[in-house]
Chains A and B, each alone.
Chain A
Amino acid sequence: MTTPTIESPKAPVRTHRSRFNLEAFGWVFMRASGIVLVVLIFGHLFVNLMIGEGVKALDFAFVGGKFSDPFWMVWDTLLLWLALIHGANGMRTVINDYAHNRLVGVILKGFILVATIVLLVLGTLVIYTFDPCPAGSPADLLPSFCGTVG
C-alpha cells in the first residue's frame, strides 16, 4: 500500500506584519504601568492623606513644599504621565469596544488624544514652574522655607 505524495505540503501563506506592533506594546504597557501605578498611587495617597495630620495638612504650603522637592517632582511627573497615558489607552480600548461607527470612534479617540496631550503639557508645566512663594502673599499661607528665600 502506498500513501499519496504531496510535494511541499500546504506552503504557509506569508503575511507582512511587523513582529512588534502597537497593540502588543499597549498590552505590555498597561501591565507594566499598572504595577508602577500601584506604588505611585498608594504612595501618593498615603503621604497626602494619612501621614501626620492627615487630610487636614493639605493646603497651599503643603503642595508648594512638595513641588519644591526634587523627589516629589519626579514622583508626580511619573504619576502624571503613567496614569494619563494608561487611562487614555484604556479609554481607547473601551472606544474600540463600543463605537460601532468608524467615524464616531475616530472622533472620540481624537478627543482623548488632544485631552491627554493638553493635560500632560499643563501638568508638567505646573510641576516644574510652580512658584511656592508668590510675592506679596501672607507668610502664614506659604511654606516655611519661603522667608529664607525672599
Chain B
Amino acid sequence: MASAVASKSGPIAHGEVPTFPVTVIVRRFDPEVDSEPRWVDYDLQMHGTDRVLDALHKIKWEIDGSLAFRRSCAHGVCGSDAMRINGKNRLACKTLLKDLDVSKPIYVEALKGLPLEKDLIVDMEPFFDSYRAVQPFLIASSKPKDGKERLQSAAQRKIFDETTKCILCAACTSSCPVFWTDGQYFGPAAIVNAHRFIFDSRDEGAQVRMDILNDREGVWRCRTTFNCTDACPRGIQVTKVIGEVKQAILRGKP
C-alpha cells in the first residue's frame, strides 16, 4: 500500500485516470413514436472512475439529448435511478463501469414489472400503492410523557435497524419473478417497510400490518428466490426480512 499512499500525496497529473472504450446498449422507448422498445448502441470512451450513470449522462449530454432517465442525488441516496444493468437491478449511480465486463457491451434497460413510460422511466405508482397499503408510518395512541420523545433501548432499535435503510428504489420489488407475473403481490419493498414498523417497540399497528400481509397477495406469495436480496443497493437482507415477517404472522405477534 506504500505506493498508493505515495501517489496520493504527490501531484496527480491530468489524464491519469485511465480511459477505455465501452459500448452501452440502451433499451429505448418513445411512446409517441415506437410501438415496441428498441435496443440502441452507443460507443463511448469512459474513465476508470465512471459509473453507469456517467455513461448515461455522456449519452444524454453529448450524443442524444432525448434519452430519458431519472436521477437526482447521483450518490445512492434518493433511490431514483434503479434500472436493469446487464440483467440485474442496480442503481446506475452506484455501479462502476470497471466492475462490469467492459469487453462486452453493457445492456441497460428499465425496471421490469412496472409499466414502461419512456426509455428508462417506469410508472412507480403501483409500487408506491403497495408501499402505502402497509401503512408505513408510526401508529401510536399515546402521547410521549412530558412532551418528550418516545424512549427506546439500543437493543429494541437494533431489531429493525436494517429495514430503516430502505430508499424505496424498487430494485427489489421489480426483480421478483412473482411480482413480474402477479402485479397484485405486495412485493419485497412493501414488506421491508412493514417490517420497519412491525418490529418497532414504539408502534402499535403491528397487528394491522400483519393482517394486511397475511393476505392472498401478501407474504405467502414469496418463494424465497433471493433476487431481492441480490438487488438491494442498501445491502438489506430482503429475503431474510420477509422470512421474519412470515414468522411473526405465524406467531401472531412481532
- Which residues of A are in contact with B by a Cβ distance under 8 Å? 3, 8-15, 17, 19-21, 23-24, 26-28, 93, 96-98, 100
- Kindly list 16 other residue pairs between chains A and B, CB separation below 8 angstroms, not including A9-B138, A12-B135, A12-B139: A13-B135, A15-B208, A17-B214, A17-B215, A21-B214, A21-B216, A23-B214, A23-B215, A23-B216, A23-B220, A23-B221, A24-B250, A96-B182, A97-B178, A97-B181, A98-B181
* B249 interface residue per 8 A CB criterion: yes
Chain B nearest Cβ from A11, distance in angstroms: 8
User: Are B139 and A10 in touch, CB under 8 angstroms?
Assistant: yes
In terms of DSSP, what is the predominant structure of the interface of chain A? loop
The digit string for B201-222, where 1 denotes a CB below 8 A from any CB of A, is 0000100100110111010110
CB neighbours (8 Å) of B252 from chain A are 19
- Which residues of B are in contact with A by a Cβ distance under 8 Å? 135, 137-141, 147, 177-178, 181-182, 205, 208, 211-212, 214-216, 218, 220-221, 223, 246, 249-250, 252
* Interface residue from B138, B141, B211 paired with A8 (Cβ < 8 Å): B141
Closest to A98 in B: B181
Chain B nearest Cβ from A26, distance in angstroms: 7
* Interface residue from A3, A10, A11, A96 paired with B138 (Cβ < 8 Å): A10
* Interface residue from B208, B220, B246, B250 paired with A12 (Cβ < 8 Å): B208
8 smallest CB-CB distances across A and B, nearest first, come from A23-B220, A12-B208, A12-B205, A27-B220, A17-B211, A12-B139, A97-B181, A10-B137
Closest to B207 in A: A12
User: Are B218 and A19 in touch, CB under 8 angstroms?
Assistant: no
Closest to B215 in A: A17
CB neighbours (8 Å) of B178 from chain A are 97
